[in-house]
Amino acid sequence: MQDFLNSNLFIINFKNYDEISGTKSARLAKSAAKIAKKHKLKIIVCPPQHLLAEVARSSSDVFAQHLDNSKVGSTTGYVIPEIVKKSRVAGALINHSEHRIPSNEIEDLVRRLRDLQMISVVCVQDVSEAWMYAQLNPDYIAIEPPELIGSGKAVSKEKPEIITESVKAVKKANNSTQLLCGAGIVSGGDVSRALELGAKGILVASGIVKAKNWEKAIEEFALAFVRK
């Protein structure tokens, strides 16, 4: 767990794009692992839920796209922290803009992941949510204005003040939570700007998944971290 917290994080959310269906998720994960090893970076992949165990067999840096706060035992159809950990899943996104959950469930999941020594990344839409959920002391808050997700317009360029204000909000919580930046990141320049503004890393999806050359795109983003 500590090696995640001591590193800048580069998280790739595969979502449910057709580009990573079937065996293609494993191929993208291997490309990410190759670039991560080359540059000594933490590149996390978030494959579709049904592929978590398969991808985790070839990569130790796998997060779930979402988790449920249901209990271990006679529950059906839920993705549960205690169960996915046994498939070598190291953490999870919580409350992504495309899968929002109630605040009490967020609090419960942050606590459970902490107890399991798994990484929690709570996604938020604005500065007020960054402040509110940072007080739960998740490992990371990921700021993603929903109107910029998948837009090709990076928050680091379109609304840089959201990043700087979110950094302040997270620091105000006075704990170990750190800020990640997401939404519309499509180039190494977008990554560099996010890091300059105080983000500890990025959360990206279509900027990698929909690229024509996965390794080339991952390399470009990775170099922004190396040159920081």
Active site residues per annotation:
96, 144
Query: What does the alpha-carbon distance between residue 83 and residue 73 come to, in Å, rounded to a whole number?
Result: 10
Query: What does the alpha-carbon distance between residue 190 and residue 178 come to, in Å, rounded to a whole number?
Result: 19
Q: Do the bridges between strand 178-182 and strand 9-13 make them parallel or antiparallel, or are there none, so unpaired? A: unpaired
How would you classify residue 225: left for phi > 0, otherwise alpha for psi between -120 and 50, otherwise beta?
Answer: alpha
CB of 142 closer than 8 Å to CB of 134: no
CB < 8 Å & 24+ apart, contacts of 15-21: 15/48, 15/65, 15/98, 15/205, 15/206, 15/209, 16/48, 17/205, 17/206, 17/209, 17/210, 19/209, 19/210, 20/47, 20/48, 20/209
For residue 133, what are the CA distances in angstroms to 7, 104, 150, 201, 211? 22, 11, 24, 18, 32
